[in-house]
Amino acid sequence: MALLFLSINDDPGVWTRTLSALMPGLDIRVWPETGPAADIDVALAWKPPPGELRRFPQLKLIISLGMGVDHLLQDPALPSVPLARIVDPGIITQMAEYVCLAVLHYHRHIDDYERQQRERRWRRLPPAETARRTVGLLGLGAIGSHTARQLTALGFPVLAWSRSSKTLAGVDCFHGPEGFEPLLRRSTVLVCLLPLTGETKGIIDAVTLALLPVGAYVVNCARGGHLVEQDLLAALDRGHIAGATLDVFQREPLPAEHPFWTHPKVRVTPHIAGITNPGTTAPQIVENIRRLSEGLPLLNPVDRVRGY
């Protein structure tokens, strides 16, 4: 069994050592030094060049090196073989931490206090009322559900919207087109945790932003394609949206000339809300390779039609 590791963002040495320790004898090839293309059975990939995976005629499985698979499905030449994704407890925890940090940052007026520090001003702002800071989550999968639990544990009222009907204790759940507007109108912080699909691309646009309460905040740590960037800038500039924390962008790395870098109401991080950890994800990758070789059902298979 030969596995191709293809990612320009990750250290191949760490992955090779971790996978080899769990599955001694696994033949691991690191792109672009693939050897004979016909040797490759499995590809472990993150943002492969379009058409690249089609070069391997014996490919039997593609595993996304992350919880999202939009980076694979956007390739029209992607081989018609099974896809699997990583569902990593480490990423889930990191994403929830990132969202809680962003919500608390705005809730406790940290932007204002940082501004006061620069001005050397000593002034207390009115205390924040947690029960009045309603957080709306777009997405109630593994990441969204865990994030909702962490936010409710902090005392925030939490709303959640998903494609289909779901329930979660302590969370007001909405679904489908009819549930979208009611969630937006009550969300003082809107958080995007959706998979990127044809249905969710550009979901945070001028119409969505206008439905949020005046002074609401936006947090996007899902995919840059969810957000219409110019619409957010316009909403920030006219004061309808008070601030945004953004970890993902239409173009990455974010171009140096992009207005997000210097906008006073935008906080930028370089796609670090959830980083894949070889130590916590390699076991399920190895398990899927074993299942493939034994003809067993895969862990975390991807429905290409739904996009996740």
164 three-class SS: coil
Q: Would residue 299 count as lying in a domain?
A: no
Buried b (16+ CB within 10 A) or exposed e, 7-30: beebebeebbebbeeebeebebbe
The first and second tokens of residue 242, run together, are 């008070």
Q: What is the dihedral of CA 306, 44, 296, 305, to 10 degrees?
A: 10
Contact 199, 226 (CB under 8 A): no
Assess whether 199 and 212 both reside in one domain: yes
Which residues have a Cβ under 8 Å from the Cβ of 117 and sit 6 or more positions away?
none
DSSP-derived pairing of the beta strands 241-246 and 61-64 = unpaired
CATH number where 284 lies = 3.40.50.720
Distance from C-alpha of 94 to C-alpha of 146, rounded to nearest angstrom:
10
Same domain? For 178 and 158 the reply is yes
Q: Which residues fall within 8 angstroms of residue 261, CB to CB, at 6 or more apart?
A: 254, 268
Is residue 308 assigned to a domain? no
| Residues 238 and 170 both lie in one domain | yes
95, 175, 106: which is closest to 135 by C-alpha? 106
pLDDT at 9: 87
Contact 217, 242 (CB under 8 A): yes
Q: Give dist(CA 158, CA 137) in Å, integer.
A: 7
Q: At what angle do helices 278-294 and 12-22 cross, to 10 degrees?
A: 50
Instruction: Tokens 């000339």: give the residue.
Output: 257
The DSSP secondary-structure symbol of 150 reads H
- Host domain of residue 29: 2-88+276-294
Span between the terminal Cα atoms of the chain, in Å: 26
Residue 300 forms part of a structural domain: no
Question: What CA–CA distance (Å, rounded) separates 9 from 92?
Answer: 19
Residue 33 falls within a domain, yes or no? yes
Residue 301 within a domain:
no
What are the C-alpha distances in Å from 195 to residues 83, 102, 183, 305, 306?
A: 15, 20, 18, 13, 10
- Number of domains the chain is built from: 2
Q: Collapsing DSSP states into helix, strand and coil, what is residue 62?
A: strand
Q: Is the domain of 151 the same as that of 26? A: no
**Active site residue ranges:** 223, 271
Contact 40, 29 (CB under 8 A): yes
DSSP state of 48: P
Q: Which residues pair with 46 in a beta bridge?
A: 7
Cβ–Cβ < 8 Å for 99, 147: yes
pTM confidence score: 0.95
Tens digit of each residue's pLDDT, the chain (308 residues): 999 999 988 999 999 999 999 999 999 999 999 999 999 999 999 999 999 999 999 999 999 999 999 999 999 999 999 999 999 999 999 999 999 999 999 999 999 999 999 999 999 999 999 999 999 999 999 999 999 999 999 999 999 999 999 999 999 999 999 999 999 999 999 999 999 999 999 999 999 999 999 999 999 999 999 999 999 999 999 999 999 999 999 999 999 999 999 999 999 999 999 999 999 999 999 999 999 999 999 999 999 999 99
Residues making up the chain, counted from first to last: 308
Does 67 fall in a domain?
A: yes
Query: Do 180 and 55 lie in a common domain?
Result: no
Q: Is 87 left (phi over 0), alpha (psi -120 to 50) or beta?
A: beta
Same domain, yes or no: 116 and 186: yes
Chain-centre distance of CA 262, in angstroms?
A: 23
Are residues 93 and 72 part of one domain? no
Query: Does 81 share its domain with 93?
Result: no
Query: What span, in angstroms and rounded, lies between the C-alpha atoms of 249 and 255?
Result: 10
Regarding whether 110 and 98 lie in a shared domain, the answer is yes
**194 and 213 in one domain?**
yes
Residue 302 forms part of a structural domain = no
Does 306 reside within a domain? no
Residues 158 and 36 in one domain: no
Residue 168 and residue 147 share a domain: yes
